[in-house]
Chain A
């Protein structure tokens, strides 16, 4: 299998676009560069990339608009790049269908990890290979058993309540991806559940106490401050 996955880097800053492409090319991907929104849209339809890295601050159009247009006809994975202080943009982008985000400035490992996760999640229908094949998801000493509706730590059932299990199950299905508070709440309590995320916080706190050795030093359930939660990825 020598076909390299094509990644389109949409970024107007030449130096940033250049370094992202260099990293991707030297790690077995084929990187293409687009400098503007209009160029990006035409390149997406003509080159059919496997993944798009999209900077939200483009000169000719809003990155969120590109995402919106793209999502009308494609489920192509999109990793959004934005500056630190704009976590509202991040949340909005994720809720609009972006697969993940990178905060500027980011390191090489972070970039590659996000790219890997995003590409993997589009390959399998259920979002996660492991679950599709075995009905379980394992990371470190944590196993989520989707058939028995249990979470096990070092083989022992940690006795989650129903809604606690549903949260963990959801995070496991999208392991490695950040899920926004809104997304989790809507998936769990329906689209009409209010924007209040206190119930979610309390549930997460309880889950951490059952799963993590030290709730303040999580190994599995990570908080993306101001955005949402992410479950550690296996392997």
Chain B
């Protein structure tokens, strides 16, 4: 064991935070207050110990690590002895059963702290497992998404090289195929980059206040260049909407949703993109007039399982698994939520981002 790991072990078991300090002080003052009140109402002093045991339990439960729990138990014993047991306002270590009281306090604190820490750890483990599962799913989806276009690119270019007698239109067609497959690959890789950008913990994304309309406008501009045949209308509120976000990632979400609307809507000719304020959230929505989402896929769309049952999907290679998983991961990392529904004559994908940075501020 090196010094650094020892130190980190120490801080893991005895972390200090002002919030925990405040919580402990509040709980202990409550306990003391209750004891004072009871003391006035009743002359016996048997109530002090249980009240303080409860206070110590609460402190251990609501703070992180062992530090405050242990401090509270020591303080509790002293309080009980000093203030609330005869002789009042004097320390008397000769009271019978005193060592027992002290032990009870300590034991209660240590056990509660241990339970709390354990619960938190298993929670973290579960979150890590979930992330691991998502990653494995992504990897599977990606290798699938990459293999088909690569085959096509190698095939078309080999055909060109090996068949010099091909006519000009035939050559053109093969080259265009290769190019569009390569462009598809670029999008797959961009999605992967987004995932690495989210990193390991939620705190890793750096949020900055961005004007929602700017991000929306840019995503749509890039989309139009790729799909000039699809009409897109954009709506943003008159009031400037500033949303804390990683702009590159949210742009990725929007461009994935637009791309999905164009590719999976099958007959999409018009897409409506909008952003508006909904209480403490900004709601982004992408609506298309395509074929909608198959009913049986709706419930499992966002549960992280990627569908490869190409039976329902006639072009199984272009599954929207990767794109949507990336969207979901990004939106979740922002503390937001995503949803999808069929609307009259099409599908709507929407996501909400909190307007105020909540919890961890990176």
Contacts and interface: CB of A to CB of B under 8 A. Distances in A.
Interface string B238-257: 10101000011001000000
Contacts of B236: 214-216
B248 A87 contact: yes
Interface of B: 186, 190, 193, 196-197, 209-211, 213-218, 220-221, 234-236, 238, 240, 242, 247-248, 251, 275
Interface stretch (A42-50, A119-127, A169-177, A201-209): A201-209
Contact of B235 (A208, A216, A218): A216
Q: 8 closest pairs, A vs B, by CB?
A: A216-B236, A223-B214, A205-B240, A216-B234, A216-B213, A225-B247, A217-B234, A85-B193
Contacts of A225: 214-215, 218, 247-248, 251
B213 A215 contact: yes
A84 B221 CA distance: 17
Contacts of B238: 209
28 contacts: A84-B193, A85-B193, A85-B196, A85-B197, A87-B248, A198-B209, A201-B210, A201-B240, A201-B242, A205-B211, A205-B213, A215-B213, A215-B217, A215-B236, A216-B213, A217-B217, A217-B220, A217-B234, A222-B217, A223-B211, A223-B215, A223-B218, A224-B218, A225-B215, A225-B218, A225-B247, A225-B248, A226-B247
A150 B251 CA distance: 33
Nearest to A217: B234
Interface in A172-208: 198, 201-202, 204-205, 208
A155 interface: no
A222 B218 contact: yes
Contacts of A209: 238
B248 to A, nearest CB: 5
Contact of B217 (A87, A202, A216): A216
B218 A208 contact: no
Interface string A71-88: 000000000000011010
A218 B240 contact: no
Contact of B240 (A85, A202, A217, A223): A202
A225 B245 CA distance: 12
A9 B211 CA distance: 36
Given A85-B248, A205-B240, A225-B248, A218 B217 contact: yes
Given A216-B235, A225-B247, 20 more contacts: A85-B196, A85-B197, A87-B248, A201-B240, A204-B214, A208-B213, A214-B234, A214-B236, A215-B236, A216-B216, A216-B220, A216-B236, A217-B217, A217-B220, A218-B217, A222-B218, A223-B211, A223-B214, A225-B214, A225-B218
A222 B234 contact: no
Contacts of B221: 217-218, 222
B248 A204 contact: no
Interface of chain B: mostly helix, strand, loop or mixed: helix
A201 B209 contact: yes
Contacts of B214: 201, 204, 223, 225
B190 A84 contact: yes
A198 B234 CA distance: 23
B240 A226 contact: no
Contacts of A218: 217, 221
A122 to B, nearest CB: 27
A105 B182 CA distance: 10
B186 A223 contact: no
A201 to B, nearest CB: 5
A205 B214 CA distance: 9
A46 B238 CA distance: 55
Nearest to B215: A225
Given A205-B240, A216-B235, A223-B218, A105 B186 contact: yes
A217 B236 CA distance: 9
Interface in A66-108: 84-85, 87, 105
Contacts of B209: 198, 201
A148 B236 CA distance: 32
Nearest to B246: A226
A101 to B, nearest CB: 14
Nearest to B241: A205
